[in-house]
Amino acid sequence: MLLGDARRGKLPENIVGFGRALRRAGVRLDSARIALACEAARWVDVAHKADLGAALETVLVSREQDRAVFRELFDAYFRDPEVAHKLLAQMLPSAEGRAEPTKRRPRVREALTPQRVFGSQAPRPAEDTVEFDAAMTASDLQRLRQADFNALSASEYRLVERLARDIPLPLPQVSARRLRPDDRGTRLNWRGALHEATRTGGELMQLPRLSRRAEPLPLLILVDVSGSMERYARLLLAFLHAATRQVGGRRVRRDLFAFGTHLTDLTPALRLADTDEMLGAANTLIDDYGGGTRLGASLTTLRTQYARRLVGRRTLVLLVSDGLDTGEPEHLNAELAWLRRHCRRLLWLNPLLRYEGYAPLARGAAALHRHADGMLAIHNLSRLEDLAGSLATLMTSR
């Protein structure tokens, strides 16, 4: 048997430790996949790092957004033995090892950081000062409210996603065509008056009135699922699913589409009551996740196949994108002009507004800025909390 064979020695332990690190980085794994990874390592030459990495990636990665995290973590894990020792001793309060580059992804940095046992204190520093560690204090929550979604670690991202589901988003309401009984209404309810007259021998004792019902605007959501929107897309889907389910006790008519290289109808997934089930169904339906962005071609599909989703020019359109489009600007301009004519408001939710001095200089961003009624920031929890007020302001402005 060769030295380092997957059937003997430390390689199975290293693969198990690597699987734990991937789970800490947010990659979905179970013990069956880790066992299958050990089996896959037997069929390749482990002396070649590229072959081993390809075999493990084939078995352990099932989502496109996890591939970059896997490759970066694989290079770090199988490069330095000290890193492997740190990851296998995740329950120790501290570990020795060389400093890792600060340019790593947040999910990888968290996976390469040894976990501390819950409730244990860190070793006292050389100075006489004593540091206290409070789990999720007010300052921690405030930091998470202001932190960019793209800069969160895997555990912080999961927590922020849960917090985002509790943020309300009261949509603007308009007068509907249907009427309801109202003593202060402006229209007489002659049908109701005649019905009441039959009880009083034909005498009209009172004149009931009607008024138009108030209902939330129909909602059309377009979410960019390209590579640059990787961390924003999932969180915004969870937020919008929970926040727009009901407004004022009334269900909202809402349609959801994802666009990357083409348009994907996610409305069936949006009808699911559970947010986690909705995200799982959306992940199954989207087959161009993490690719490029062709908003013009996607809007053409919307115009030719789903134009009836825009209800009588009353629909509020929320377009979630960074505006980094790869298509022709003339095509995008024409499709955005059509969309703007057939909706009540077109609002652009742009995560790049986190940068001070941001200007829509890219061709796709310039076209969006030209046709959108407003541009709002959605890069952290604080901005999501302010979104309702911003929507109300833009809806009332001319």
Signed CA dihedral, 2, 3, 9, 12: sign only:
negative
| pLDDT at residue 318 greater than cutoff 90 | yes
> What pLDDT, on a 0 to 100 scale, did the predictor assign at position 248?
59
Phi/psi of residue 220, nearest 5 degrees: -125, 120
Beta-sheet strands, E only, within the chain: 173-181, 187-188, 209-216, 219-224, 246-247, 250-251, 254-259, 263-265, 316-320, 345-349, 374-376
- The model's confidence at residue 185, banded by pLDDT at 50, 70 and 90, is confident
Phi/psi of residue 349, nearest 5 degrees: -100, 110
What's the whole-number mean pLDDT along residues 195-207? 80
> What pLDDT, on a 0 to 100 scale, did the predictor assign at position 306?
94
In whole angstroms, how far apart are CA 228 and each of 273, 322, 323, 352, 381? 28, 8, 10, 10, 19
| pLDDT at residue 267 greater than cutoff 90 | yes
| pLDDT at residue 366 greater than cutoff 50 | yes
Range of weakest confidence among 31-35, 191-195, 211-215, 251-255 = 211-215
Quick: pLDDT tens for 224-234.
998 888 889 88
Question: Who has greater pLDDT, 126 or 188?
Answer: 188
> What pLDDT, on a 0 to 100 scale, did the predictor assign at position 110?
61
Quick: pLDDT tens for 326-361.
889 999 999 999 999 999 999 999 999 988 889 998
* The model's pTM: 0.65
Domains of the chain: 11-111 (no CATH), 164-171+217-396 (3.40.50.410), 175-214 (no CATH)
Spatial separation of the C-alpha atoms in residues 145 and 138, rounded to whole Å: 11
> What pLDDT, on a 0 to 100 scale, did the predictor assign at position 305?
95
